Amino acid sequence: MVEASGGQGMIERRRNGRNRTFLGGAITFNHGQQTLSCRVRNLGTEGARLDFSGAVPLPEELDLSIESRREHHRARVVWRRGDSLGVAFLPRAANLIDLASARRART
């Protein structure tokens, strides 16, 4: 583990670093029934930090869209702190639904 920059004494637990960003994002949850805007404050290949305009109750798994980059990720919440949360992106295979299941859900 590497000490996080900024002198806050936080321990870096990520395997891959993240880049600071200031991107608009949107999360979708409850089977696509609810959408909430967020700010993507840092972004990496395995996760992101999201900021909200207030503390909001969210499920453990959600979908994150970053339209300016045409990125869409299924993610799991790994930490929550005030108006921010950290998410880890789920592997692409976890994002796939088998065709038979999708067809059953539509009928």
Q: Which CATH number do you get for residue 64?
A: 2.40.10.220
Rounded CA-CA distance 58/55 in Å is 9
How many domains are contained in the chain?
Answer: 1
For the record, the structure tokens of 67 come out as 């339209």
Residue range of the domain that includes 58: 19-93
Which residue has 């796939």 as its token pair? 96
Rounded (to 5) percent helix, strand, coil in the chain: 15, 50, 35
Q: Using one digit for the tens of pLDDT, what is the confidence trace for 42-69? A: 999 999 999 999 888 899 999 999 999 9
Assess if residue 9 is contained within a domain: no
Assess if residue 5 is contained within a domain: no
47 or 11, greater pLDDT? 47
Q: Return mean pLDDT, the chain.
A: 80
Query: Which pTM was predicted?
Result: 0.70
Short-list 87, 83, 94, CA closest to 65: 87
Assess if residue 86 is contained within a domain: yes
Assess if residue 4 is contained within a domain: no
* pLDDT confidence bin for 3, thresholds 50/70/90: very low
Assess if residue 71 is contained within a domain: yes
For the record, the structure tokens of 66 come out as 């970053």
| Residue 100 pLDDT greater than 90, yes or no | no
Rounded CA-CA distance 59/30 in Å is 8
Please tell me whether residue 77 adopts helix, strand or coil conformation: strand
Count other C-beta atoms under 10 Å from residue 64's C-beta.
21
